[in-house]
């Protein structure tokens, strides 16, 4: 009964990968396709690719750090029975359920220099006097798209960590109280180790999503202004579907895949080592 599923997965994920390897090793010439590593050689010297890689890493690390600490802080604060908790949870779910395209539209409205709320509020608070252009400014654009990701995904980090916190039994806390440990010590030696699996899972899932980010940036800035917010996924998209340079796009996507895999392997190792100890 596994056979149909295997057939679908083989034809829609394994075969495309093999196909992709094949085209990444070919370059066009008047005499037909030539085999070789030309695409990878070109990639290693392509400054656009490496700056897209830098943007992707900055984006991923910055968004991950902010989302994690914000989410953890909120989860610790709200790990108690509060009134209206259901309603609160339902509200927080909204951003992450939205189609990324709609998130892009929403934030284009918010960032709009003329009628966007961000400028409106900042002006009323007296923080700014001129109209900031946000997504059209080379200095602010990357920060702006990172902020959108933080808005959309901090609730997810929060909810997973909260679920993790609530799965921790009461006994270790009571033992810590009997031993007279400070609240920081309790957090450091009781909460953190017990929360580690949830932390690793949420970091793993967020990292994978952040490294392949495409939709929101495509809608918000299309990688611009200039190339200030161009991530690897956007560059690959441009290479393949604007310049029909499929071989080069395939080569770049392999580098992205390898990096993503390396990072996820590290996380999974950490998770498994933790499980074998426990």
Partner 1 sequence: MLVIAMITAIAPVYWMLTISLKREVDQFANPPRWLFFPPTLEHYYDAFVARSFVQYLLTSALVAIASTGCALIIGTLAAYSLARFELPWRLDRKLSLWILSTRMFPAIVTAVPLFLMMRDLGLLDTRLSLIVVYTGFNLPFVIWMMRGFFAEVPRDLEEAAMVDGDSRLGALWRVVLPLVAPGLAATAVFCLIVSWNEFLFALVLTQTDEAMTLPVGIAGRVTQYEIKWGVMSAAGVVAIIPILAFAIAVQRHLVRGLSLGAVKG
Site for partner 1 in 223-242 (CB under 8 A): 232-233, 236-237, 240-241
List the one residue out of 253, 251, 247, 250 whose CA is nearest residue 27. 247
254 scored as a contact of partner 1 (CB under 8 A): yes
- Displacement of CA 150 from its chain's centroid (Å): 9
Q: Which residues pair with 26 in a beta bridge?
A: 35
- Buried-exposed string 161-170: b where 16+ CB fall within 10 A, e elsewhere: bbebbeebee
Q: Which is nearer to partner 1, 61 or 175 (CB)?
A: 61
Per CB under 8 A, the list member of 42, 108, 189, 196 interacting with partner 1 is 108
Per CB under 8 A, the list member of 38, 66, 76, 78 interacting with partner 1 is 78
**C-alpha to C-alpha distance for 115 and 49, rounded to whole angstroms:** 35
Sign of the C-alpha dihedral computed for residues 82, 84, 86 and 87 taken in this order: negative
144 scored as a contact of partner 1 (CB under 8 A): no
Neighbours of 146 (CB within 10 A): 21
- Displacement of CA 246 from its chain's centroid (Å): 25
State in angstroms the smallest separation of the CB of 101 from partner 1.
4
List the one residue out of 254, 200, 201 whose CA is nearest residue 232. 254
Classified as helix, coil or strand, 128 is coil
Neighbours of 44 (CB within 10 A): 12
195 scored as a contact of partner 1 (CB under 8 A): no
State in angstroms the smallest separation of the CB of 190 from partner 1.
19
- Residues 44-63 binding partner 1 (CB under 8 A) are none
96 scored as a contact of partner 1 (CB under 8 A): yes
Q: Which is nearer to partner 1, 134 or 218 (CB)?
A: 218
Residue range at the interface with partner 1 (CB under 8 A); choices 26-34, 38-46, 47-55, 108-116: 108-116
270 scored as a contact of partner 1 (CB under 8 A): no
Per CB under 8 A, the list member of 144, 212, 228, 229 interacting with partner 1 is 212
Q: Are 207 and 263 in contact (CB under 8 A)?
A: yes
Q: Are 51 and 227 in contact (CB under 8 A)?
A: yes
State in angstroms the smallest separation of the CB of 179 from partner 1.
29
Per CB under 8 A, the list member of 88, 179, 188, 269 interacting with partner 1 is 88
211 scored as a contact of partner 1 (CB under 8 A): yes
**C-alpha to C-alpha distance for 49 and 200, rounded to whole angstroms:** 29
- Residues 115-134 binding partner 1 (CB under 8 A) are 115, 117, 120, 124
State in angstroms the smallest separation of the CB of 238 from partner 1.
11
State in angstroms the smallest separation of the CB of 202 from partner 1.
7
Q: What is the helix (H) or strand (E) element at residue 105, kind and residue range?
A: helix 100-111
How many residues sit in the footprint of partner 1 (CB under 8 A)? 87
């Amino acid at each position: 009964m596994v056979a149909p599923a295997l057939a679908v997965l083989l034809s829609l994920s394994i075969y495309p990968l093999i196909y992709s390897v094949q085209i990444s090793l070919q370059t066009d010439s008047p005499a037909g396709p030539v085999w070789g590593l030309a695409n990878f050689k070109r990639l290693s010297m392509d400054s656009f690719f490496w700056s897209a890689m830098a943007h992707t890493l900055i984006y991923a690390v910055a968004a991950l750090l902010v989302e994690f600490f914000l989410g953890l802080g909120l989860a610790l604060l709200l790990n108690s029975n509060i009134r209206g908790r259901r309603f609160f949870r339902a509200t927080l779910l909204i951003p992450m359920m939205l189609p990324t395209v709609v998130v892009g539209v929403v934030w284009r409205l918010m960032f709009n220099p003329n009628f966007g709320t961000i400028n409106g509020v900042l002006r009323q608070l007296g923080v700014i006097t001129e109209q900031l252009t946000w997504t059209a400014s080379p200095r602010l654009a990357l920060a702006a798209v990172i902020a959108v990701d933080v808005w959309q995904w901090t609730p997810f980090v929060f909810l997973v960590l909260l679920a993790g916190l609530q799965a921790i039994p009461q006994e270790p806390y009571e033992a810590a109280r009997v031993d007279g440990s400070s609240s920081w010590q309790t957090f450091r030696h009781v909460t953190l180790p017990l929360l580690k699996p949830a932390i690793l899972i949420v970091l793993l899932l967020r990292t994978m999503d952040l490294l392949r980010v495409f939709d929101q940036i495509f809608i918000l800035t299309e990688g611009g202004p200039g190339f200030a917010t161009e991530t690897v996924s956007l560059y690959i998209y441009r290479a393949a579907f604007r310049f029909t340079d499929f071989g080069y796009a395939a080569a770049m996507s392999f580098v992205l895949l390898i990096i993503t895999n390396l990072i996820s392997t590290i996380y999974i190792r950490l998770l498994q080592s933790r499980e074998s100890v426990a």
